[in-house]
């Protein structure tokens, strides 16, 4: 219950009460919460106060609104530590999730200037362009575009559909050394929203990765759009 004599704002007390239910597991992921009217009657406050509490929790990622349905506890986000170089497939398996990919397109094309620079090849050199949706337990997590020099190794559509690109590279005798990666916040565009099954303008993470072999040669340039409501990155820091 809330304390109306407390100097703590009522909406904040309601927020904390809802957070407790979520954190203790009383309300599980994707469970619909009571309506604003029910909260208002239960706590004997105005619906405006309840609405402010719920809006804050939606903004903080605890709750999700579904148009025409109601407000739900947000699905738990997958955490990925920014340590070590792993593929999406390896990362999902390590969390006990079932990884999968849905191939959108696989083609040979010519490298435009920005891609050629990243792969350290000549502009207009032939490369593989691979567009995939990455899934965990059948839920779309990321839309990924990968560029690989075609003279490095032979790839075909069945290889990409069957498993991890990194496995194919290592099976071909190459050793993957390191990668540089950048992350930035953005909002989803229409095409990405449709593929990832999110609303247009939803929060996403844009991730760019350049991966290198032990020979020093670039293996790939990957540009990914990750769902902000399903994924978060963690980093351990020491002073």
Confidence label for 146 from pLDDT (cuts 50, 70 and 90): very high
Measured in whole angstroms, the distance separating CA 56 from the mean position of its chain's CA atoms is: 22
For the segment 208-233, the average pLDDT, to the nearest whole number, is: 90
Summarised one tens digit per residue, pLDDT across range 97-106 is 788 889 999 9
| CATH number of the structural domain 10-75 | 1.10.10.10
- The per-residue pLDDT of the chain, averaged, comes to 87
Q: Supply φ then ψ for residue 100, to 5 degrees.
A: -155, 160
Q: The tokens of 112 are what?
A: 């435009």
Summarised one tens digit per residue, pLDDT across range 27-65 is 888 889 999 999 999 999 999 999 999 988 887 778 888
pTM for the predicted model, two decimal places: 0.69
**146 and 169 Cβ atoms separated by less than 8 Å:** no
Summarised one tens digit per residue, pLDDT across range 72-82 is 988 776 666 66
Residue 22 has pLDDT above 90, yes or no: no
C-alpha pair distances (Å), 150 with each of 111, 130, 153, 155 = 10, 12, 6, 8
**63 and 72 Cβ atoms separated by less than 8 Å:** yes
Residue 238 has pLDDT above 80, yes or no: no
Using a pLDDT cut of 70, give the percent of the chain over it: 95
Residue 163 has pLDDT above 70, yes or no: no
Domain boundaries, the chain: 10-75, 78-227
Residue 156 has pLDDT above 90, yes or no: no
Q: Which CATH class is domain 78-227?
A: alpha beta
Give residue 91's pLDDT.
Answer: 73
| H or E element at residue 132 | strand 126-136
Summarised one tens digit per residue, pLDDT across range 194-205 is 999 888 888 888
Give residue 150's pLDDT.
Answer: 94
């Amino acid at each position: 219950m809330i304390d109306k004599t407390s100097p703590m704002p009522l909406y904040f007390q309601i927020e904390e009460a809802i957070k407790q239910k979520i954190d203790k597991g009383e309300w599980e992921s994707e469970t619909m919460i009571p309506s604003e009217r029910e909260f208002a009657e239960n706590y004997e406050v105005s619906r405006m106060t309840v609405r402010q509490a719920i809006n804050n929790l939606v903004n903080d990622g605890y709750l999700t609104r579904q148009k025409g349905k109601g407000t739900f506890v947000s699905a738990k986000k997958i955490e990925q530590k920014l340590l070590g170089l792993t593929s999406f497939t390896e990362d999902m398996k390590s969390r006990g999730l079932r990884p999968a990919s849905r191939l959108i397109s696989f083609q040979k094309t010519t490298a435009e200037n920005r891609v050629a620079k990243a792969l350290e090849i000549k502009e207009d050199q032939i490369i593989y362009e691979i567009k995939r949706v990455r899934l965990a337990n059948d839920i779309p997590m990321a839309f990924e575009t990968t560029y690989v020099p075609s003279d490095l190794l032979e790839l075909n559509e069945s290889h990409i559909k069957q498993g991890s690109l990194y496995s194919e590279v290592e099976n071909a005798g190459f050793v993957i050394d390191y990668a540089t990666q950048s992350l930035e916040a953005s909002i989803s565009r229409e095409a990405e929203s449709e593929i990832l099954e999110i609303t247009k303008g939803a929060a996403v993470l844009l991730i760019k990765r350049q991966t290198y072999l032990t020979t020093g040669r670039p293996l790939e340039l990957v540009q990914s759009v990750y769902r902000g409501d399903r994924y978060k990155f963690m980093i351990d820091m020491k002073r």
